[in-house]
């Protein structure tokens, strides 16, 4: 944090208000998702399918989401590798 430069109050208030709006609206969004899921399941049941079909479709969708939307894994290098023909950067011996 750079204390020599004054903070922009408009940017601070904008970030704070967006953050507060997300916190306040997240339960509403979750409620709307639950209502949409209930409507989908009801329409499938009225159409004559059993409750197994939506559960199977949800399981397949979950498996596909986990397969394709993974975060990148961090690979740690165990020891430094030397490149043939390259010299390492080090202090000259005295």
Written as six digits, the tokens of 67 are 């397969």
* CA–CA gap between residue 52 and residue 62 (Å, rounded): 15
Question: In residues, how long is the chain?
Answer: 94
How many other C-beta atoms are found inside a 10 Å radius of the C-beta of residue 79? 5
Q: What is the predicted pLDDT for the residue at 85?
A: 64
Q: Rounded mean pLDDT of 19-43?
A: 89
Which residue in 57, 60, 61, 62 sits closest to 49, CA to CA? 57
Give tens-digit pLDDT for 42-70. 887 788 777 677 778 888 888 888 878 77
* CA–CA gap between residue 62 and residue 53 (Å, rounded): 14
């Amino acid at each position: 944090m750079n204390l020599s430069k004054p903070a922009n109050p408009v940017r601070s208030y904008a970030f704070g208000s967006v953050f507060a709006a997300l916190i306040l609206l997240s339960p509403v969004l979750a409620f709307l998702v639950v209502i949409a899921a209930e409507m989908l399941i009801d329409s499938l049941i009225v159409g004559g399918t059993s409750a197994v079909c939506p559960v199977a479709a949800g399981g397949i969708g979950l498996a596909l989401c986990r397969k394709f939307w993974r975060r990148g894994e961090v690979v740690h290098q165990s020891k430094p590798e030397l490149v043939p023909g390259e010299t390492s950067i080090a202090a000259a011996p005295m």
